[in-house]
Each structure stands twice: as C-alpha cells, then as structure tokens.
C-alpha cells in the first residue's frame, strides 16, 4: 500500500489544534482564557523555580537521608505520622482539620458495617479461619445507597430499629465527607473494591486517594493563619459534618455498646476493634460538638492512598548536617509494589518494611484466598532478593504487636494459620521470636550480598516505645548517611 503524501494543507499539529481557542470565541471569553493561561504559567514557573532551588541546595549541602516505606497493608502512614509528630510538630498540628474529616469518615463507616450486619442478624458463624479471612479487610468500608431492611427481625429488639432509623442520616455525612476529601478537579480519586462478606450483602468499598491529590488543602480555609497551636475552625458552617455526627452521637454510643449488637458481631465474627481506623471506643470525644482530634487519634486515622508520595521532613541533629529527610511512601495494589525498584537504584539509605504480624489470621481484600502474613513474607522475600536494592539497608518492623498479643490471649492459635509453627507455645514471646527468625532466615538465604538484619517490634497504641524505636532508627541512618558523605570516619 503506497504511503500517503501530505500536502501543505495537511501539515497541521494535532496538539496545537486541540489547545487552540474556538473560532467563535468572544472578547470576554478571550480575556478569561488569557488570564487563566497566565495564572497557570505563573504556577508552573514557580514550581520550576522551587525545584531548581532544591536541586541547587542539594548539590551544595549534604545529601538528604532517603528512606522508602513498604508494607503489604496499612501501617506506613502511621509510621510517617509518628515521624512528623516527633520532628515537625508544628506542621503536624496544622493538619488537624483535615484529619478530623478522615476520623469522622472512619467512624461513619464503622457504624455502617454494624448497620449492614443488622441486615443479616441470623447469619450463622462460619469456620473461624474462613470467616476471618473473608471480612478482615473491610475496615472503614462505606456502603453506597440506602441501608437495606433486615431479612429477619426476630433477633432485633424494637429499640435497635429506632436507633437504626435515626442513624440513616449518616449516609449524608458519608457522602459529604467523601466529597470534601476528593477535590472535583482530580479524576484519579476512586474507591477500591473489598472482599464480599456474604453473597447477599452489599459489597463494601474503601475510599482510595491518589497521592498526587492535595486533599489536605481542602481544609486550609478551616485553619486560622495565626498560631498553629490554636486551630480555628468555622464551627458555624452549616455544611460541617460534625453537626450531624454530634446529633447522632448518643445513638451511635448506644448502638455500639448494646449487648445484642455485640452478640451479633461476635456471631458474624466481625472484629471491628482489629480494623484500621477503629474509633468506636472513642465516640464520646469524637462526637463532641467542637471536636478536634488528638495526636493519638490522628495516628490511628485510616485513609488509603495510591501511587508514590514524597514527604520532606527536617530532622534536628544538633547541626545542619544530614537534617533533610526524604521519605517515600509506595501505595497501591500489591502486584505493583516492586515496579518502583529501578527508580530507587543506588539512591536509598534504607528501606523500612512493616509487617503486621497480628494479621496472621486475616486475608487480603483484593485477594481473599491469600493470607496477609503470607503476603508480607512473600513481599519481604522479593525485596531482599532484588539485585537492584542489594546495597540498601533493610529495616524490619514487626508491627501491631499489641493486637497480636490480644489475639493470642483470646485463644487464637498461630499454628492454625502457620503450619510450620507446630506445637510451640502460643504466647507472645514464642510466636514473635519465631516470626523474627523466619524473616531473618529469608534475608540470609535470599540476599545477593550479606546484610545486617535490623528488626524492631512496634505497636499501634504504645506511642512511647514507637518513638524510641524511631529515634534509634534516626540516629543509625544519619550516621550511615554521614559515613557515605565521608563526613564521619
């Protein structure tokens, strides 16, 4: 087939044609367009200048400490918030208004899980392992549309029906909070499908925000420009979700503490306390009329992010040397986690790997047949065996030790999910030592080069011990950074 010969009339640029103004543009429309283009160019130039300044500063000063956070589930954002709280408390404080919305959304979704469970109150208990795997990742899961009527009302007393009816207004709160957290100009915001619990139930979804979305800026208007410790929120805003949450506060507390509700959750094996973003035990504080989240509440808040995000933190070390930290958080589907490795070749001080060991009896949301602990082991194996990362230090955090201890005390046995554990004692010390040796053995067997095994135990609620671990980690990495910069012998 002969090639087409373009005449001069065919010589056109499709991009220029796409961005060219419409032929029927009015004078007023032209002025608006030119003004918008000028503003966009000014923003672009400001970003370029800022990047150039950063590059020049990095060339003159010491190299920043670069750390990559990895985990097969939640935990990375909690570590990052811990780090910011310790080393940049002023910036951490300015984010309270934005995390207030996230916490409120976490609470509403937990209530929705209970209301949905009431739709199937007579559902019999399944095998503990199977049921745990099916529902383990439904934390903070919203339900779209109306809450369906229960299939069988024989096990539900009339008082609970009245509470259920009054709490239906929380659907509006969920929609409002979701819209507040998802700026309309960004199309990369969506939800991730979670595993269905029961064929006849609604399939829950979890809000997932792309890391490029500046969702916190949405709440800048709520924060005062003065002292960052005195955050000013427009409490008279008629669209503030806190008003409805406050009005529903007593009903939510009664619902959560009701003995029949607790029996129903136990029957359906719904362990809300173990789910990320659990705040139902803090309802009196969160439903207060003028609620502002505490540091502890912010650390426990759950918001799933997608993509790679970079966080810059100034770390005080007695001097300016090594004070810049760049922490990278890789989020998204587990199959894409290792795709970033080539972008960090010879450009990382350490990888911090968080393994939630309390999830030994749970499964992944996106793969209901895959055990979460098994997935952590699999991801750890692929990371330590990666030749691109063979010169990078690996630091393992065996995370959520407090939840792990609580499960073991309640009678859940590790050997029922980790066959190789055998008949060893089912106490915290024995199980954690076994898992620690398991991860250490994988590093020794699969690492292309010999590497030191760094391992720490961390908990969700023990903030003091976690701060000590992070402080120790900071000192180690800064000394390592100085050695590589030939500033410390």
- Write the CB contacts of 418 (distance below 8 Å, at least 6 apart in sequence): 360, 373
Dihedral pair phi/psi, residue 292, rounded to 5°: -125, 130
Q: What is the pLDDT of residue 344?
A: 76
Tokens of 79: 């570590």
**How many CA atoms lie less than 13 Å away from 445 in the CB half-sphere?**
9
Binding-site residues from annotation for Mg(2+):
305
- Across the chain, what does the average pLDDT equal? 76
Binding-site residues from annotation:
299-305, 399-402
Q: Could you give the CA distance from residue 458 to residue 83 in angstroms, rounded to a whole number?
A: 14
CA-only gyration radius of the chain, Å: 26
Where does the pLDDT of residue 8 fall: very low under 50, low under 70, confident under 90, or very high at 90 and above?
very low
Binding-site residues from annotation for GTP:
299-305, 399-402
CA distances from 461 to 271, 272, 286, 366 (A): 17, 16, 18, 27
In tens, the pLDDT along 12-71 reads 677 677 677 888 888 888 888 888 888 888 888 888 888 788 777 766 766 778 888 888
Kindly list the domain boundaries of the chain, sorted by start residue. 62-91+307-488, 95-300
Residue 265 has pLDDT above 90, yes or no: no
CA distances from 297 to 138, 159, 178, 286, 433 (A): 20, 31, 19, 9, 30
Of 19-23, 118-122, 415-419, give the lowest mean pLDDT range.
118-122
Tokens of 89: 């408390």
DSSP type of residue 74? S
Alpha-carbon dihedral 124, 127, 130, 133, rounded to 10 degrees: 70
Tokens of 468: 């000590």
Record the pTM: 0.72
Which CATH fold topology does 62-91+307-488 show? Rossmann fold (3.40.50)
């Amino acid at each position: 087939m002969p090639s087409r010969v373009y005449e001069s009339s065919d010589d056109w640029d499709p991009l220029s044609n796409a961005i060219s103004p419409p032929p029927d543009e009015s004078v007023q429309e032209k002025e608006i367009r030119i003004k918008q283009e000028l503003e966009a160019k000014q923003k672009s130039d400001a970003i370029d200048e800022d990047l150039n300044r950063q590059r020049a500063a990095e060339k003159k000063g010491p190299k920043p400490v670069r750390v990559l956070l990895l985990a097969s589930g939640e935990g990375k954002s909690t570590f990052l918030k811990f780090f910011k709280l310790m080393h940049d408390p002023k910036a951490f404080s300015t984010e309270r208004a934005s995390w207030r919305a996230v916490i409120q959304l976490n609470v509403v979704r937990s209530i929705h899980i209970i209301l949905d469970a009431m739709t199937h109150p007579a559902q019999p208990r399944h095998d503990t392992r199977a049921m745990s795997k099916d529902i383990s990742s439904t934390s903070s899961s919203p339900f779209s549309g109306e809450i369906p009527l229960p299939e069988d009302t024989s096990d539900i007393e009339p008082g609970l029906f009245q509470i259920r009816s009054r709490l239906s207004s929380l659907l509006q709160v969920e929609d409002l909070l979701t819209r507040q957290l998802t700026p309309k100009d960004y199309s990369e915001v969506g939800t991730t499908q979670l595993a269905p619990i029961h064929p006849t139930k609604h399939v829950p979804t979890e809000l997932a925000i792309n890391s490029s979305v500046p969702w916190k800026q949405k709440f800048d208007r709520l924060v005062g420009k003065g002292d960052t410790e005195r955050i000013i929120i427009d409490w008279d805003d008629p669209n503030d979700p806190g008003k409805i949450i406050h009005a529903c506060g007593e009903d939510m507390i009664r619902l959560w503490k009701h003995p029949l509700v607790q029996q129903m959750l136990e029957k359906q094996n719904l362990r809300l306390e173990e789910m990320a973003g659990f705040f139902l035990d803090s309802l009196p504080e969160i439903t207060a009329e003028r609620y502002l989240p505490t540091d502890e509440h912010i650390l426990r808040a759950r918001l799933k992010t997608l993509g790679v995000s970079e966080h810059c933190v100034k770390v005080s070390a007695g001097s300016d040397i090594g004070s810049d930290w760049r922490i990278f958080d890789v989020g998204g589907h587990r199959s894409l986690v290792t795709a970033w490795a080539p972008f960090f070749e010879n450009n990382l001080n350490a990888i911090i790997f968080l393994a939630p060991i309390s999830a030994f009896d749970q499964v992944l949301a996106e793969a209901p047949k895959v055990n979460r602990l098994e997935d952590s082991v699999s991801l750890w194996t692929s990371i330590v065996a990666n030749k691109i990362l063979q010169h990078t230090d690996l630091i393992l955090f065996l995370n959520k030790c407090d939840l792990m201890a609580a499960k073991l005390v309640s009678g859940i046995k590790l050997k029922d999910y980790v066959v190789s554990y055998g008949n060893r004692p089912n106490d915290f010390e024995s199980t954690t030592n076994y898992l620690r040796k398991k991860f250490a053995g994988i590093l020794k067997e699969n690492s292309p080069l010999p590497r030191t095994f760094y391992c720490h135990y961390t908990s969700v609620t023990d903030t003091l011990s976690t701060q000590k671990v992070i402080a120790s980690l900071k000192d180690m990495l800064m000394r390592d950074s100085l050695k590589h910069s030939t500033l410390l012998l």
